[in-house]
Amino acid sequence: MWTLWAAKETAYKVVRKIDPLAASTPRLYPVVLSPGDHGPTRSGMVYTPQVQVVIRVSVAGEYLHCIGATTPDILDHVLWDIERLPPSEDGGDHAPDIGLYCHPEKHCGEESQLSREVTRERRKGIKMTRPALSQTLDPSMAVRRHARLRLAALLHASAADITIRRFQDNHGWGPPRPYFKGKPAPFDLSFSHDGAFVAYAMIPLPVAGWMIP
């Protein structure tokens, strides 16, 4: 059941970028999973009113994550990652040290502004209150932080030079868009978060004048 819902949501995100007027009604997105796929990765197709969306679902013990594209070859180039946020009650004085915005084994060279604020308060001898700690666990902010660190690594740049913006029009809020030093960066980007998990998916776009390894 969760696989089907994840596939429908993924397909909607794909067609929303093609058609801003696309409806999100679940029954408009029938899902057909490939027979025999019962392992950690499942594949299939979502038939939307606009296009067919190929999906690939990664299933783990505590979560599942779905990526989608209009053609199968695009899926092989999607970069994605999932992070689990620590519960606020486990924050305490060591909150800035537990990989809040980056996995301990990943790109952790950049500190977030909130992490620096927590560090400053600790140096003052002030213990952060629970409401203050819970602010550092905001999933929307956290997933943007993870994506910025990944983009920084791909562009061999500082995360401070990367911003992620969303714009609102007559159809609502559009998808997140990355910017490098104030200019659009050639990546298609998508976010998701549910409960303690945040995830991003991105794919480099072929744009003249950009060199992406």
Span 154-186, pLDDT tens digits: 988 899 999 999 887 776 777 889 999 999 999
Q: Which two tokens stand for residue 16?
A: 């929303």
Domain ranges of the chain: 2-76, 82-204
Residue with tokens 């003249």: 208
Q: What's the confidence (pLDDT) of residue 33?
A: 92
For residues 116-120, give the mean pLDDT: 43
Question: Is it the case that residue 116 has pLDDT exceeding 90?
Answer: no
Which of 86, 102, 105 shows the shortest CA–CA distance to 151?
Answer: 102
- Whole-prediction pTM value? 0.69
Tokens of 161: 């030079």
pLDDT in tens, 65-112: 999 999 998 988 899 999 888 765 444 333 333 233 333 333 333 334
Q: Region 8-14: what's the mean pLDDT? A: 93
- Within 8 A by CB and 6+ apart from 171, the residues are 20, 21
Residues in the chain: 213
**Closest listed residue to residue 78, CA positions, set 13, 139, 164:** 13
Q: Note the pLDDT tens digit of each residue in 17-74.
A: 899 888 889 999 999 998 877 778 899 999 999 999 999 999 888 888 999 999 998 9
